[in-house]
Amino acid sequence: GLRPNMVDARDPETRRKVDIYQLYEEQCQREGVVDFGELMLRSYELLRDNDPIREHYQRRFRHILIDEFQDTNRLQYAWIKLLAGQGEAASPDTPPGAVLAVGDDDQSIYAFRGARVGNMADFVREFGVQHQIKLEQNYRSHSNILDSANALISHNAKRLGKNLRTDQGPGEPVRVHEATTDFAEAQWLVEEVRN
């Protein structure tokens, strides 16, 4: 969500990354191309910097549904706030939009590409969430699996929290298998399926 000249480069490694980012941005400009991140950033800047356009879309999209919310990044979250008319983007002429966010903070796996699971807790706080529905009933797994998952996940202090449960009964005991390689793990799994 930042242009190269907006990044605070306090160390040589960050400075080098900013230089590469600047060169990349200049190359894209010369070639007249944009990537997905640039599309998001330009959309954000347009909404942020142009009151009539932002207010038009805030009026047009009164109800916003976001699925897989745990996979949003900082820029996408800022974009949502602009569209919904939250915080600095609030307009006296347009009431804030209604936002429904669906996600599971325990299933956030895209941090490597910028996803920020903290957006979920920020959303609850910043949007003044009045109704939070936790889907805790599981219909696929047995309780031995869910109990193990609940025990492992409970160590994450920053999660919103839930307790998965099922009516499926205990099922088979959970077993842990440590393989020396990914190939050895695949072979073990094939043998388990055959058995």
Query: Over the stretch 79-96, which tens digit does the pLDDT of each residue have?
Result: 999 999 887 766 666 677
**What DSSP string describes the chain?**
---GGGS---SHHHHHHHHHHHHHHHHHHHHT---HHHHHHHHHHHHHH-HHHHHHHHHH-SEEEESSGGG--HHHHHHHHHHHT-GGG-BTTBPPPEEEE---GGG---GGGT--THHHHHHHHHTT--------B-SSS-HHHHHHHHHHHTT-TTS-----B-SS---SPP-----SSHHHHHHHHHHHHH-
Q: What is the pLDDT of residues 12-30, one digit of tens each?
A: 999 999 999 999 999 999 9
Model-level pTM greater than 0.85?
Answer: no
Place 67 in a pLDDT band, splitting at 50, 70 and 90: very high
